[in-house]
Structure 1
Amino acid sequence: MILCAGRNETFDFAKPIGVGLIESAISLTKLILEEKPAFLFFVGTAGSYGNHQPFDLVYSHSAANIELCFLQNRCYTPLQNIVDVEKVHVSRGTIYPSPIVNSSNYITTDTTFANNMIEKNIELENMEFFSVVSVANHFHIPCSGLFVVTNYCDENAHLDFIHNHAQAKELITLHVEKNMKI
Structure 2
Amino acid sequence: MIISAGRNEVFPFALPMGVGLIDMSINLTAFLQKRPMAGFYAKYERDFADERAADLAALAPFATHSQADNELNLANPSASRKANLSQNPDKILNALPREIIFVGSAGLYKEGKILKIYESRSAVNCEISALYELSYSPISYEIIARNSTNVSYETIINSSNFITTDKKSALKFFERGYFLENMEFFAVLKVAQKFQIPAYGIFCATNFCDSNAHTDFLKNHAAAKENLTKYLKTKALI
Shorter-chain TM band: over 0.9
**What's the TM-score, normalizing by structure 2?**
0.72
Amino acid at match of 1:150: T
Q: Would the aligned equivalents of 1:86 and 1:140 in 2 still touch at CA under 8 Å?
A: no
Structure 2 partner of 1:158: 214
- Counterpart of 2:117 (choices 57, 78, 87) is 57
The change in CA–CA distance for 1:99 and 1:28 in structure 2 (over 3 A counts) is same
1:73 and 2:133 aligned? yes
Show the 5 A alignment for 1:85-104.
93=149, 95=151, 97-104=153-160
Q: d(CA) in 2 for partners of 1:17 and 1:158?
A: 22
- Counterpart of 2:107 (choices 47, 53, 65) is 47
Q: Would the aligned equivalents of 1:67 and 1:104 in 2 still touch at CA under 8 Å?
A: yes
Amino acid at match of 1:30: A
Q: Would the aligned equivalents of 1:46 and 1:126 in 2 still touch at CA under 8 Å?
A: yes
- Counterpart of 1:111 (choices 167, 177, 181) is 167
1:142 and 2:198 aligned? yes
> How many matched pairs?
178
Shift of 1:142: 0.2
Shift of 1:11: 0.4
1:37 and 2:93 aligned? no
Shift of 1:121: 0.2
The change in CA–CA distance for 1:143 and 1:86 in structure 2 (over 3 A counts) is farther
Unpaired stretches in structure 2, ≥5 consecutive residues: 36-95
Amino acid at match of 2:113: Q
Q: Would the aligned equivalents of 2:145 and 2:153 in 1 still touch at CA under 8 Å?
A: no
Q: Would the aligned equivalents of 2:122 and 2:157 in 1 still touch at CA under 8 Å?
A: yes
Which of the two has greater strand per residue?
1
Shift of 1:87: 8.2
* Secondary structure class of the residue paired with 1:122: coil
1:26 and 2:26 aligned? yes
Q: d(CA) in 2 for partners of 1:96 and 1:154?
A: 25
Q: d(CA) in 1 for partners of 2:97 and 2:120?
A: 19
Which of the two has greater helix per residue?
2
Runs of 4+ in 1 over 6 A off after TM superposition: none
Unpaired stretches in structure 1, ≥5 consecutive residues: none
CA deviations over 1:84-126 (Å, ceiling 9, x no partner): 35986xxxx5545241101100111000000000110001000
